Amino acid sequence: MTSTVVELDDLRVKLGRREILRGISCRLGVSGVGRVIGLLGPNGAGKSTLIRTLLGFHRPAAGRALVLGCDCRKERREVQSRVGYMPETDAFIGNMSAVAFLTLMARLSGLPAKIALERAHQTLFQVGLGEARYRELGTYSLGMRQMARLAQAIIHGPDLVVLDEPTNGLDPSARRRMLRLIREMKEEQGMNVLLSSHLLGDVEEVCDEAVIVRDGRIVHACNLDEERRSNRRFVELEVMGEDGGLGGALGAVGAHGVTEGGGRWRIVLPPEVDIDALWGLLARQGLLVRKLAHRRDTLEEIFLKAMGRIAHTPGEAGDAPPLS
């Protein structure tokens, strides 16, 4: 299997005369099997267009998109055979039982009849619908329909599963079950997952990487694994006194500080420097503390910062560094 899940190179997609995706480039899932990639952005950002392009439903106007090493334009059938798709809205035959519908989906994916039926039962138990597998899909609750959509996306054992708003409308219990299934798909089955969601908490909880799209461009990409491992803390500080030597003192202990003037500082503390050590350092500098607040950077803050970023040129926000 290829070492990169999704690779975009100056991808441009038009719907009619309107350019929806404006020259985006990135590499996602560089480390290979078992990555969960979050796709974030406000309504109208281009997330759905990007997903449909990756699935081969939209033809790029320029550039290229690779999924699992396959060109989405030239190798559409190969891409679709290796990808499972859970749409945001229902796409069921309401008077079919869940097991009959999943068997049909498995047959359409190329599985023989006997194996398709076995996989239908197995997958429905996997997503928690084993006891309801003979009921008609039209009688399912919202949460059950979400699980049935997930089941049809994974029944053929794809290498990549694309999930479009998988927890939308779910109650807390069903949401936890859905997120647990996503983690199991990654950890136990080695599947890669592309998760499109507007719920930042879901992305932060299960994703290894996140890419933020705005106005058809990628405005930020981050490796959430590295963010978690770094365990960095962010300090907002306001002091009284001569603080000209504070930057050097912070650097000497491995911290990084930027002054905003008037005694105000923004400081990044590495894991080995705790808040108590910062208090001691400030005392040795002879500074009086008027304000000290610390936190860990969250995906919500990263998202809000990215939404405030203005792209002045087409290439400025369209290019994002590789994630590894």
Q: In what order do the strands lie in the sheet with 233-240?
A: 256-261, 264-269, 233-240, 288-295
Looking at residue 230, its pLDDT comes to: 62
Q: 88 - beta bridge partners?
A: none
Give, for all 324 residues of the chain, the pLDDT tens digit.
Answer: 446 899 999 999 999 999 999 999 999 988 667 899 999 988 889 999 999 999 999 999 999 999 999 999 999 999 999 999 999 888 888 899 999 999 999 999 999 999 999 999 999 999 999 999 999 999 999 999 999 999 999 999 999 999 999 998 889 999 999 999 999 999 999 999 999 998 888 998 899 999 999 999 998 888 887 766 665 678 889 999 999 999 999 999 888 888 888 999 988 888 788 888 899 999 999 999 999 987 666 676 677 767 765 433 333 333 444 443
| 232-295 to CATH, choices 3.30.950, 3.50.30, 3.30.1490, 3.30.70 | 3.30.70
Q: Tell me if 120 sits within 8 A of 108, measured CB to CB.
A: no
Class in CATH terms, 6-91+158-224+303-318 = alpha beta
The letter for the amino acid at 188 is: E
pTM score, whole prediction: 0.76
Question: Domain residue spans in the chain?
Answer: 6-91+158-224+303-318, 232-295
Residue 309: how many CB atoms within 10 A of its CB? Answer: 13
E strand residue ranges, 91-230: 160-164, 192-196, 209-214, 217-223
pLDDT computed for residue 273 by the predictor? 82
Question: Given this model, what pLDDT does residue 301 score?
Answer: 67
CA distance 270 to 283: 20
Q: What sign has the CA pseudo-torsion 149, 190, 103, 129? A: negative
